[in-house]
Chain A
Amino acid sequence: MKSDHQAQASSEGPIVQLTGVNKHYGALHVLNGINLEVTKGEVVVILGPSGSGKSTLCRAINRLETIDEGTIKIDGKTLPEEGKALANLRADVGMVFQSFNLFAHKSILENVTLGPMKVKGMKKDEAKKLAMQLLERVGVANQAGKLPAQLSGGQQQRVAIARALAMKPKVMLFDEPTSALDPEMINEVLDTMVGLAKEGMTMLVVTHEMGFARKAADRVIFMADGQIVEQATPEEFFTNPKSDRAKDFLGKLITNH
């Protein structure tokens, strides 16, 4: 059984593959026939009005939300329903949340070392070294001994990115990573994300930051009412949207940006 899974897995195919994914919240059809592939090194930005299902889609990819129909594959392996197999697969998928969700009782350093030590069995010294490198990279190494509540939102979110990176994920999911931040802190997080994108990280980003989509995305996906309405390169999407929904959405943004 296990060897079958491994045989299926290959780095040639898409890293994330959703086929015919449907989900309902009661009468609300929150994901409606979603088909999506993200290839290695690709940066995909999901845009859309609130309630369009983009966060649910992002969360479904590491099964923080269950789906009613369809299949989700990570690097060729079908997402298991529960148990150890699911935990193992989640370890390959980095997740950054809107509300940071740093472990509130652990120091910044411990937040980053927890996964490598407890999930991958890495030795403490090694995990600490890795964590310090990552904290250095996101620019909060000097805060390593503090608790999350002592950091600003922007710093916390950068730690959350380091925590996800410490697992050496195959893909990083960002669920509105800057929506809970004060305006002056948004850029420090976006800069970190742009840096990741440039280094070739496979990323799926749900965001309202059009600037990030323009700068870093390989592909923009526009969702509305649980469906993927349009997908295009950022250049094409922002200058020449095809669907009325996208035109309407972008039209409303112009007044703000």
Chain B
Amino acid sequence: MENYLSIFTEYDIPGAFWVNIQLTFWAAIGALVLGTILALLRISPVGSFQALGTSYVNLIRNTPLTIIILFCVLALYGQLGFVLSSDFQGNFFRLAVLGLAVYHAAFVCEAIRSGVNTVPLGQAEAARAIGLSFLPAARLVILPQAFRGAIVPLGNTLIALIKNSTVAAVGSVATESSSVMKTMIEFRADIVIPIFLTFAVGFVIIVIPVGLLTTWASKKLAVAR
């Protein structure tokens, strides 16, 4: 037992999880903004915008996240010299955030679109009938209702994002939890299973409240019809 507890003093485990939470936080903001724009493209009346949104979702959603993050680090930064921060470690962190945001935006888009489907067509017709054009109608009438109808799928996307933030390990973010876990396993092969369990339980503790919160919020914020 003491043997096991020593890993908490030897390694900064809460700090490692904190990096994942930070990755998730920034990527979630990026994915939400980009995903909302994509959803707007997909529900817009302009055919070429729809095609653009659809192409993005089909390309990105069907590409493994590992490849996207490797692309950010090896191609965007390594090959093309795309730098997001002058700090060496900070640059990898931001590139990983970019990859995570780009990837999850496709899922956010689809979650919002499922929310749009919960809004009756009559709402859009009424908005148009009082003279609102597409963007104001979307901003004032459709999206506020769509987001409330999309809380559960958006929550699921957030849960996936929290766990997928460990893929930042392939993007040279060495401080996040799965990278730290890998290092720990290398040096403490005697307690491999407790180490795995520690990180598994850590993620469960982070993720469970998100699930509870989204279920509660989806009931609380549901649009009465």
- Interface residues, chain A, CB within 8 Å of chain B? 62, 64, 82-84, 86-88, 90-95, 97, 99-105, 114-115, 118-119, 147-150, 160, 163-164, 167
Contact = CB atoms under 8 A, between A and B. Distances in A.
B123 A101 contact: yes
A142 B144 CA distance: 26
B19 to A, nearest CB: 37
A132 to B, nearest CB: 18
Contacts of A160: 126
B83 interface: no
A97 B126 contact: yes
Given A90-B129, A105-B148, A119-B131, 6 more contacts: A62-B128, A64-B128, A90-B130, A93-B129, A101-B120, A163-B130
A144 to B, nearest CB: 17
A101 B129 CA distance: 11
A147 B144 CA distance: 15
Contact of A103 (B45, B123, B128, B136): B123
B129 A104 contact: no
B62 interface: no
B128 A90 contact: yes
B5 interface: no
Contacts of A101: 120, 122-123, 125-126
Interface residues of B, number: 22
A104 B145 contact: yes
B131 A99 contact: no
A84 B122 CA distance: 20
Given A104-B123, A105-B144, A105-B148, A83 B133 contact: yes
Contacts of B133: 83-84, 86-87
Contacts of B131: 87-88, 90-92, 115, 119, 167
Contacts of A119: 130-132, 136
A217 to B, nearest CB: 23
A167 to B, nearest CB: 6
Contact of A104 (B45, B136, B140, B223): B223
A179 to B, nearest CB: 14
Contacts of A104: 123, 145, 223-225
Nearest to A64: B125
Nearest to A163: B130
A114 B130 contact: yes
B148 to A, nearest CB: 7
A120 B133 CA distance: 12
A64 B121 CA distance: 11
A134 B12 CA distance: 64
B141 interface: yes
A82 B44 CA distance: 12
Contact of B132 (A87, A94, A105, A149): A87
Given A91-B130, A103-B141, A97 B224 contact: no
B130 A97 contact: no
Given A84-B133, A118-B136, A105 B145 contact: yes
12 contacts: A82-B45, A87-B132, A95-B125, A101-B125, A102-B126, A103-B123, A104-B223, A105-B145, A118-B136, A119-B130, A119-B132, A147-B224
